[in-house]
Structure 1
């Protein structure tokens, strides 16, 4: 008898899990930096537009591939491409699978940093100065302590499956993330300098709206913000019930993810101006200083300048960042785990520990060669694999997949025009994103 495949039990559970996969450090870390460096409100306006022009169709396409196949990305792409080239579909699936491992190899390191920084205010509160110094250090030992911890945390959730692990923890962590984000934003809004930050963020300079660099930056951020191109949404789509309302669920996930990105901007950009009012240098040559410096230097310096309340605010902020990290790592870990369970007939327990071990080896390789390998891996993944895989998904649904592709079988109405949009317009937009990030 065939084993019954695990899946999401509720619409809310899926939306929170999928949004959790999308809501990562790119939203809370990357989006505000992009907005600050590209006209604030002008970037925000263009970002909302391209979410619907590019990211929403891309999200639907990836979910649709997984939902139609009711299988992991390797099987899903193999099935969709079988009329043209079954091997090509399988190869694309394996590339996505490898990408998930690569992403987790560096993302788990960064997630470990977030956890370490969340513990630092506790250490300083109890005047454990040596521990505080260690938690703020760039030491290899710190990486080898906190990276495995985050991997084990992800594994403990994945071990319980979709319904009892991913869905339950998403229902717990995502509301907590939203509460912390809103609470921090409300507090930052009361501080000196915040009003200038809100003004910079919410009032668009319409002279910049048509700036090509701003438009392409917004397109790239919108795509990456939804964690598209690695297979997270495909595997989550496969766990939906066959009769699920995919367009409605796609819209719900995109709106929640975009809402979190918007709230992150409401928190981070005013916080930048608050830091500036405290004498912290935040801009260099008219541009916000690097993202790493923003999170690990500017904001901690701001929290330090706030006295005892700053310890509490710093703790909450990095707990927030840790939650954003873990909701993303569990979705990416599920991709290779599902592959091993479905294609290699391994148990979920064996699959989870094997994947965790592989990721730990990959992470350890980066840690041991950090100076040259860390940035290179991130660049190859974000600037090449993600946009190219996103482009491949559009081409697969729009051109390669015929049999069983209900999207292309509609000959009239809104669905027909949406299918034509995916076939003709989205590949052009995705190519523009790739060209911008790969050759700039």
Structure 2
């Protein structure tokens, strides 16, 4: 066991930082945590959901969900991680001295990590597609048309090959550890992601038809905001986008210095993530209507979005094909952007179970990385071979239902199980006068009472 059965106020607040990896700076944490949050969910999932659910109406409900649910629960998860500065299983186990609650906490951590592994299993497949579509324009420019065709055609060999390559990229970063791997690459990739996103959005908005997509995105249809399906999808998207309920942020919280102000630092993470999602909408929805102006069908006769689940692999490549000589370069830039976003998220998904196994079994990182990544890759292959039956099922169960449910459990564990004076002491680290702030007056009871009721209400209506 990682900590003694004896449990007291001083024990739970021990730092034990000497044995734990850590980010070298607050900026390193913000970029890494934002990188975990910013991923395919932002640049593929969010715009697709917006396009399928009324554009501006979905954007409005999504922003409300970020403020009312996702941000408060994000603070809760990061707080749990920093309390003990250990892996999620150990951190949740440490919230109580009662044996049954310790077992429940540890079990909750294990379930969260299993959900995370399932998410990474389908995420690696989608990210492999992104990698393939990034390489395809380069192959075409080099005259390797058969290779380019293979990269863009749906096949078992393509799906497995690119999934394995993407997992190897993720392994490369995670093997190097926190500061030399995750933090170093987050510092490099996140600024590049912003630059590419802004350049691509600016370019797309100059194309004919793009302003129609912009109007759809920014002008909400208020008749749709009460749609239960829209609301639950917006909540699921908010939780998926911020990596909540699957122990990623809890793991990164364990690497965060005790000098950092938790509410402000997590607000930066949530703000950057939401900004990227918003900018992605400015890119994708205008691009859809630009494609439509060039003769590409994007909506069916009944108004439903065509190829909703594969929007970025059908509509956008068709639009790039209409751009003439600039098309391959635009396609490469867009899918490079998507691949960077995918990597910044996948490294956090792999890090959480790797860190847990390393600490719980006292094993070496290198071997654990290969064990965990290999196991997830095997399940990804199973999904590939049973794509129609498993892919959509795994996506829906994990992101729409399990993430909010696990986030609810984590929030309840922190606010109902942990004694309030210990919670206050944890938040005072980096914010000495927080007990006099509106945050402390509102956040604990809000997470304790309001967030669970809102999450359950939204799931029940959905």
- Which interval holds the TM-score relative to the shorter structure? over 0.9
Distance 1:259 1:403, change over 3 A: closer
Shift of 1:403: 7.0
Match of 1:420 in 2: 445
- Counterpart in 2 of 1:430? 455
**Following TM superposition, by how much is the alpha carbon of 1:411 offset from its aligned partner in structure 2, in angstroms?**
7.9
The aligned residue for residue 100 of structure 1 is 116
Is this contact kept in 2: 1:23–1:328, CA < 8 A? yes
Match of 2:363 among 336, 346, 357: 346
Gaps of 5+ in 2: 1-15, 427-433
Partner of 2:151: 135
Q: Which shows bigger deviation, 414-423 or 111-120? A: 414-423
Question: Structure 2 vs 1, CA of residues 241 and 293 (structure 1 numbering), >3 Å: closer, same or farther?
Answer: closer
2:423 to 390, 399, 406: 406
Within-5 A mapping of 1:144-159: 144-159=160-175
**Residue of structure 2 in register with 1:18 after alignment:** 33
CA RMSD of aligned residues (A): 2.0
Matched, 1:35 2:50: yes
Q: Is the 8 A contact 2:26 2:257 kept in 1?
A: no
C-alpha separation in 2, matches of 1:353 and 1:185? 37
- Please state how far the C-alpha of 1:352 moved relative to its aligned partner: 1.1
Which ranges of structure 1 fall in alignment gaps of 5 or more residues?
Answer: none
Query: What is the Cα deviation at residue 209 of structure 1?
Result: 4.2
**Corresponding residue of 2:59:** 44
- 1:204 is aligned to 220
Preserved contact between residue 81 and residue 88 of structure 1 (Cα < 8 Å): no
Deviation at 1:204, TM superposition (A): 2.7
Distance apart, 1:312 and its partner CA: 0.5
- 2:192 maps to 1:167: no
Does the aligned pair in 2 maintain the 1:408–1:416 contact within 8 Å? no
Contact 1:402 1:408 in 2 (8 A): no
Match of 1:364 in 2: 381
* 1:8 matched to 2:33: no
For 1:102-117, list aligned pairs within 5 A: 102-117=118-133
Conserved 8 A contact 1:51-1:222: yes
Per the normalisation by structure 1, the TM-score is: 0.94
Write out per-residue CA displacement over residues 350-406 of structure 1, whole angstroms, 9 at most, x where no aligned residue: 111211221222222222322322222222212332121011012111212227632
Partner of 2:344: 327
User: Residue 12 and residue 411 in structure 1: after superposition, are their counterparts in 2 closer, same or farther (change >3 A)?
Assistant: closer
Deviates more, 1:140-149 or 1:258-267: 140-149
CA deviation string 1:171-207 (max 9, x = no partner): 1111111111100001101100011111111223344
Report how far residue 254 of structure 1 moved.
0.5
Residue aligning to 2:90: 75
C-alpha deviations, 1:126-153, integer Å up to 9, x for none? 2322111110121111122111111111
What are the Cα deviations for residues 89-133 of structure 1, in whole angstroms up to 9, with x where unaligned?
111111112122212211111111110110111112223221111
Contact 2:17/2:85, CA 8 A, preserved across alignment: no
Kindly tell me the number of residue pairs found equivalent between the two proteins. 437
> Could you tell me how far apart the structure 2 residues matched to 1:406 and 1:5 are?
21
Q: Helix, strand or coil: the match of 1:288?
A: coil
| Residue of structure 1 in register with 2:4 after alignment | none
